[in-house]
Structure 1
Amino acid sequence: MTPGNNGASTPEDDDPFGYLYADGQANGAQPPSGGGYGYPNSVSRVRAVGERKYGQQQPQQQTAQYGQYGQPPTVPQQQGAYGQPNANYAAPENFGGPPTGRQQPTPGGGGRGRGPNTKGLLIGAVAVVAAVVIGIAVAMANGDSDTGDNDSAGGQTSSAPSASESASPSASSTGEEETAELPTIDAKALSLGGSAALASDVEGADAAGGTYVGNLNQVGNSVTWTVNGIPSKGTYTLFAHYSAAGEDQSMTLTVNGKTFGSKFNLGNFAHAADGDFAKGWTKTYSWPTLTKGTNTISISCQDGDKCNVLLDQLYLKAGQVKN
């Protein structure tokens, strides 16, 4: 290529921006026409909001044209009033995406956006409250009935013995045993064994005529009582009225042929001096088990026993008592 003007095929003619330079303008370079500013056939597609629905074919967009070089561009359309579409705003669906508006849940439907089943929760809560109220009402009704029973009895609690109390007989036992008159026997009615004998020399005996059984202080001597009329099987208290002076005494108790307990205690509870039997009268007791009807009770002097006592009377009481 030679220096100088080589005609219309000069580089500045090929340069789309040659019209910007002084030498290009001197050579007749002109700004391009027929399109957007600076680039031929450039377009700007702008669509107003709401003009196109998702999934539909897009209508032709307006082309915002700009003026020639040195001329002010066309003033874009101003935003319309509130709620009107703006021509300069390109809706998101213009780019092919799905609509961005929030979907409203269909009433009664089960799709996305459905809230919690508040109706079911409310029904469950009401059912629980109703069950609690019914339970309280039943409890209060039962309490009122119990209170009424106590009021009809004068407001006093029952004094009936419990199962554990009735298992142990007492002086206040109820039934036939309490009302029945249990047998009592004096010395004269007792069966004597060995060399035991009746006497009345010592004062203080409760038996009729002051009679008592003496001479029991030898092995093999005894008194026996055949008891009739025991109302029922159970525990009874056997009392003995006797006199002991000085040292405590003890003998063997036999009920229906079997030894009961270790020894029948005949202590000197009156604290009488040795030999002073007139001041030594007292009583003792034991709690044997008797059968209904007839029973045989014996007090005897056996090996190892201390039998220096005067015995004048035996009697029974129902249950385990001390007086």
Structure 2
Amino acid sequence: MTPGNNGASTPEDDDPFGYLYADGQANGAQPPSGGGYGYPNSVNRVRAVGERKYGQPQQAQQQTAQYGQYGQPPAVPQQQGGYGQQNAHYGAPESFPGGPPTGRQPGHQGGGGGGRGRGPNTKGLLIGAVAVVAAVVIGIAVAMANGDSNTDNKADGDQTSTAPSASTSASPSESATGEETAGKLPDPVDAKTLTLGGSAALASDVQGAEAAGGTYVGNLNQVGNSVTWKVDDIPSDGTYTLFAEYSVPGADQEMTLTVNGKTFGSKFGLDNFAHAPAGDYVKGWTTSYTWPTLTKGTNTLTISCQDGDKCDVLIDQLRLKAGQVTK
């Protein structure tokens, strides 16, 4: 291009900045205003839609088409796209030579404030798993402890005795255990062998007595009346079981037991274990027992009617066993 030209025949021969120089102004160059390159009769070619030279950056193609291969366009500040929007000057990867870039591109991190992205909370998951395992272990330990406690309670319940205390008596159906004292005990005694006190008397009117001849001791229902058994040859000191065979007329009774001259415990219960109707001695025959403490040798056992006692009783036999037993 020479200073004498009035404009190039092609855009490539134009100087887009000719209007800035004295020779260009002398040739009539003007600042660009929508078309041409500032020179009179300059060429402005329009490219058809979709026509593009591949292998050349899109921005460079646009610059070449607008300004020619000479010179550079004025610097235009790049506009920052809105959040989540592409930049207006973004070029597709295929527009760059060699295809899309292979370098690692910084990704957008989620969360407010543009802070650093956070991965899965593995620490929280680990703590949760440990808590679940601990809860399972504790539950198993508690279940095992409860099972042992129930077993112990059951064992204790099996060992619990329903036997009466030393001062009471019970029905033959109640249970009690005890170690028998070594040695042979005296045989059971019938009513005829017992020593009677007060106005107590032998009788055999009521059927059902097991003593010889159906004999029993009656008329005990008065204060001071009694029966006494002098027991010889007790083998050793200890607890024994005294059984009484008797009948009551459909109502519970109780009398006083004296061992070697001393009242033993509370009353000797002679209850209506046969469930006889009121006034029926025949159906009232039954057995009761108590556990006195005896000494080795001879002991005296007395069943008497004292103040406050209920003595409407017929007694036909007395017998002893070693230890605390029920039959």
Normalization by structure 1: what TM-score? 0.46
Normalization by structure 2: what TM-score? 0.45
